[in-house]
Structure 1
Amino acid sequence: MVFVIGSGPAGVACASALLAAGATVKMLDAGLELEADRRRQLAGLGAIDPAAWDGESASFLKDGVEVNRGGIPLKRAYGSDFPYRDPLGLPLVMAGVQGQPSYARGGLSNVWGASVLPYRDQDLAGWPLTTGELAPHYRAVLDLMPFAARVDGLAESFPLHHEQPGRLEPSRQAAALLADLESDAGSLAASGVNFGSARLAVRASECVRCGLCMYGCPYELIYNSAQTLERLLAHSRFSYRPGVVVERIEEQGAEVEVRGREIVGGEPFGERCERVFLATGVFSSARILLASLEAYDHPLPALDNCYFLLPLLRNRGVRDVIEERLHTLPQVFIEVLDAAVGEHAAHLQVYTYNELFRVEIANVLGPLRRLLPRVLERGFLGRLLLIQGYLHSDQSAGLTISLRRGAGPGPATLEVAGRGNPRTRPALAALQRRLWSLRRSLHALPVTPSLRVSPPGRSFHGGGTFPMRAQPSDFEADVLGRPRGFQRLHLVDASVFPSLPATTVTLSVMANAHRIGEEAVA
């Protein structure tokens, strides 16, 4: 029997590959879930058409959502913060960092934006594998999830890896932007700009375009790895053990001992197996591995993607966006490769209207909003788009992770601090200039004074703590994700990525986890 630790996207992808290869798999997980009362409310909401919702029936989805000048600090799931709760209260100190580990069933896929895009070979410079080696695993993991995409200008650089993707209708603002970009596609491509419809892990055919995606889909159409877990539970060689937090892993000859604590009561937990696949995310995996290596007080560098928000104001607006039926996930992807920005492409996700835009306008204007005629506000919203952007980890601030030994028998403290990068500010400035130069193609102006750059960790794309190498040194891993010093422990989340391309991370994490699972037991 082998253990997979964690039920997030990496965990379920790895478990799927292991089962396909003939292994018997037990998944260990903290497994926190949405509160029962919210689950009942959600079931009731999802059982009826949006036209039948009254003013209160969907209000619970928005509990705790507060928009301020820095954006939304942490995205909630159906009004709950359960994806970020620590059931044991393990000591965690964050300095100049935003981000959290997840102990939830499904991990951070409870709150992700559903964007999926593969990596390109040029993104994998310094990696001990190629996109050709990942390609069959991209296809395999896309079969685990719903997938909505189009064959467009992105396909040449970013293959679909899927025969029959679903199709989500774009909003009218997105359709207008795509039409304008298509009219200048040749010159954009020649200047290093690729674009296309956003690719999303969503059951497109069932989408009712209720506009509540940012709070959690009332019909649960956005992929959550807990959905794959439900399917795995039907497999005769798969078992699931929730309610435990793993703290340490030790190899003992041909066996691996996994130790931790029960969530209820905090009692010690311990089991043995033949092999372990660790998929708990960059923070929890670092805590477990540093403790297992007895590497206390060792500063471990971690990678991140710089995450920023930048409004775009279109030259011409779209009428009545407030009343439009639409989804509010990303609508358009734009990839910008510019030598002034850096040797790697920046990834831009364009959002069109959602109701949080109105809250943001109120925050910016304050009492002056009362003086803004409603017709002007509606016209402004019809022109407003929002870029959610990412830079490659080479151009981004990073993190430093350390584990400090606890006092007496107490648990160790995980300390996470931000680590600046002198390349970030020049890269962002160059990207803003590039977008300004594209204003005619975009038929829009970037509102550069409103650029917001989040602290390290806010992208939730963290990784690179034990990077894969062809010949690993200390605190590095081999191509099967085994940190140096281990033979039967495989790290399968983004912790093993040697770099973090700007494009979306989850699909590649799943593909690599699937690859490791398949190859480790071949």
Structure 2
Amino acid sequence: MIYIIGSGPSGVATAKALLARGIAVTMIDAGVELEKSKQLLLNSLQVAWRPEVAKKLKHNIHQEDNVKLSYGSDYPYQQVDKVLKIISDKNIYCKPSLAKGGLSTIWGAFNMPYASEDIHDWPFPISYLEPYYKKVLEFMPLAASKFDSTNSAPLYTDQLFTYQHSKQADILLQHMSAHKQNLFPQGFEYGSARLAVSFNSLSGLPHCSYCGYCQHGCPYQIIYSSQDTLRELEKEKNFTYIKNILVSKLIENKAGIIIKASHLHSGNELEFYGKQVFLAAGAVFSTKILLASLNLYNKPVLLKDSQHFMFPCFLYKATSKVKSEKLHTLAQAYIKLTEKNILSNRAHFEVFTYMDHYESQFKKIFKLFYPLVQYGLTPVLNRMLILQGFLHSQDSEGCLISLQEDNKTIKLQQYQFQADEKLKQIGKYLFKHRRLLGFFPVWSFLQVSKIMRSYHYGGSFPMSKNKDIVATDLLGKPYGFTRLHVVDATVFPSIPAHAITLSIMANAYRIANECNIYE
């Protein structure tokens, strides 16, 4: 029996690769799902749109420490506090998931591969991943547009969905296209956001209505989640899915691997026995399982993070009536910055135009005075963009993660590195080139997120050509194991500055496709 632990993006990509090789697999997973009451509301919306029903699936993003919910539910994070005690420094934000589909249930859908320069410090070149980007994009949707200046990151598929930009995004992209000959020498690349969204209808399936609900959860469920692939996998005769399983430790012997686990709800201890195991539990839970399996209690390992930050900008050219515009509210565009005098690696920015969360934030700021100022805010909203930025892990703070001897408690401590000065220099550089970019950055409103808030983290057991007890080989095998492969971001040698999901899936597919199988 071949086991996969976890149903997130790396888990389903691993399953696709193994099934393509004719290998039967069993996936074990905690598998927490959206509440039935919410799912029924969602199902009814897909039959007939009713605004009063749709409102019940919304949330205000400023609540609960900016926790992003899915359809107004915190189910992606449920049960974690019952099975894992997290002790962390105040500047660390740790929200792992036990959901079916993992954190792909709440991601932003930005879907871009790494380029060669992004993984210059990895033990293999981009050519190792390129065939597997193509494999993943055979079952993962990709929407892209004509505005794309990035030659270093190919599309890797001809099966593209298209989408319409917001009016603000059109203004921005047209401006940058008009100035691209001057932007490139200053280290800027730009383009339409590449999104894992099935915007256009296929075979009678729902399509995007540009309702603006993306940040709350798509009512038509056309934003990709690994749950989509899992539903397809469950139709395969060689695939078995078992939920409500929480894995704690792996013990390898000559014949296979003993999987120590418990039932998620009852707590009853369980054991599974596999010839081979692929660990895809997400970077926090996979690190915890590895530390226990290697008996590395109270041994801190470095968890690398891509620093996340946000700031408002204002277009030089205004549009009108953004509040009533039909649009999607995912990223509309991206900008990349290469400036070696500031950063060791490229920075990545995702551009967001109007969404209803902006008004929620203004209500929070002005409180009782909001009714007095709301009409005066209309010209502001007609020009306002939000840029969400990410730095490479080499330019970011990280944290040390350790497992205590109770096998339930993890400690997270801030690693000694400060990104503040780099962020100030980025702000000055954007301001200097504001006319070329077409927007004015308001750096005084910069929000620097806590460590791990980007959800782009990993690298605690990095792939390496050198043997080390806190490393893996190029196929994700940890020190002392021959039948275990770690396939999620836990094995990334570093965390580049942009979307991580597609590359996690490509690397997982690569490992599952190229490793030896023990029958």
Task: Give the structure 2 partner of residue 14 of structure 1.
Answer: 14
| Structure-1 separation of matches of 2:277 and 2:13 | 14
SS at match of 2:457: coil
Q: Percent identity?
A: 37
Residue type at the aligned position of 1:59: K
Residue type at the aligned position of 2:461: F
Task: Give the structure 2 partner of residue 30 of structure 1.
Answer: 30
1:245, distance to aligned residue in structure 2 (A): 0.3
For residues 72 and 264 of structure 1, do their structure 2 counterparts lie closer, same or farther at Cα, with a shift above 3 Å needed?
A: closer
Residue type at the aligned position of 2:77: Y
Residue type at the aligned position of 1:448: W
Residue 148 (structure 1) aligned to one of 138, 143, 155: 143
- State whether residues 336 and 348 of structure 2, in contact with CA within 8 Å, keep that contact through their aligned partners in structure 1: yes
| Structure-2 separation of matches of 1:412 and 1:265 | 16
| CA deviation profile, 1:104-144 (whole Å, cap 9, x unmatched) | 10000000000011111111122111111100100111112
1:383 is the counterpart of 2:383: yes
TM-score normalized by the length of structure 1: 0.95
Correspondences of 1:186-265 after superposition (within 5 Å): 186-205=181-200, 206-265=207-266
Residue type at the aligned position of 1:459: S
1:373, distance to aligned residue in structure 2 (A): 6.0
Runs of 4+ in 1 over 6 A off after TM superposition: none
1:66, distance to aligned residue in structure 2 (A): 4.4
Task: Give the structure 2 partner of residue 130 of structure 1.
Answer: 125
Residue type at the aligned position of 2:73: S
In structure 2, list runs of 5 or more residues that go unmatched: 201-206
Residue 108 (structure 1) aligned to one of 93, 103, 110: 103
- State whether residues 84 and 103 of structure 1, in contact with CA within 8 Å, keep that contact through their aligned partners in structure 2: yes
Residue 66 (structure 2) aligned to one of 67, 73, 76: 73
In structure 1, list runs of 5 or more residues that go unmatched: none
Residue 502 (structure 1) aligned to one of 486, 497, 501: 497
Residue type at the aligned position of 1:74: V
SS at match of 2:385: strand
- State whether residues 61 and 67 of structure 2, in contact with CA within 8 Å, keep that contact through their aligned partners in structure 1: no
| Structure-1 separation of matches of 2:415 and 2:15 | 34
Residue 154 (structure 2) aligned to one of 155, 159, 182: 159
| CA deviation profile, 1:246-286 (whole Å, cap 9, x unmatched) | 00101010211111101231111111111100011111011
Residue type at the aligned position of 2:300: P
- State whether residues 344 and 395 of structure 2, in contact with CA within 8 Å, keep that contact through their aligned partners in structure 1: no
SS at match of 2:513: helix
- State whether residues 341 and 426 of structure 1, in contact with CA within 8 Å, keep that contact through their aligned partners in structure 2: no
| Structure-2 separation of matches of 1:354 and 1:107 | 25
| Structure-2 separation of matches of 1:399 and 1:474 | 19
- State whether residues 5 and 11 of structure 1, in contact with CA within 8 Å, keep that contact through their aligned partners in structure 2: yes
Task: Give the structure 1 partner of residue 417 of structure 2.
Answer: 421
Correspondences of 1:240-389 after superposition (within 5 Å): 240-372=241-373, 374=375, 376-389=376-389
| CA deviation profile, 1:390-426 (whole Å, cap 9, x unmatched) | 00100111011011112xxxx431112222413x112
| Structure-2 separation of matches of 1:66 and 1:237 | 41
RMSD: 1.5
Higher mean C-alpha deviation, range 275-284 or range 147-156: 147-156
For residues 143 and 95 of structure 1, do their structure 2 counterparts lie closer, same or farther at Cα, with a shift above 3 Å needed?
A: same
Correspondences of 1:42-57 after superposition (within 5 Å): 42-49=42-49, 53-54=50-51, 56-57=52-53
| Structure-1 separation of matches of 2:342 and 2:235 | 48
- State whether residues 61 and 68 of structure 2, in contact with CA within 8 Å, keep that contact through their aligned partners in structure 1: no
| CA deviation profile, 1:425-454 (whole Å, cap 9, x unmatched) | 121111101110121022211001000001
For residues 420 and 269 of structure 1, do their structure 2 counterparts lie closer, same or farther at Cα, with a shift above 3 Å needed?
A: same
- State whether residues 150 and 189 of structure 2, in contact with CA within 8 Å, keep that contact through their aligned partners in structure 1: no
1:60, distance to aligned residue in structure 2 (A): 1.7
| Structure-2 separation of matches of 1:512 and 1:362 | 43
For residues 373 and 266 of structure 1, do their structure 2 counterparts lie closer, same or farther at Cα, with a shift above 3 Å needed?
A: closer
Residue type at the aligned position of 1:108: L
* Count of residue pairs the alignment pairs up: 509
1:392 is the counterpart of 2:392: yes
TM-score normalized by the length of structure 2: 0.95
- State whether residues 21 and 521 of structure 1, in contact with CA within 8 Å, keep that contact through their aligned partners in structure 2: no
- State whether residues 12 and 229 of structure 2, in contact with CA within 8 Å, keep that contact through their aligned partners in structure 1: yes
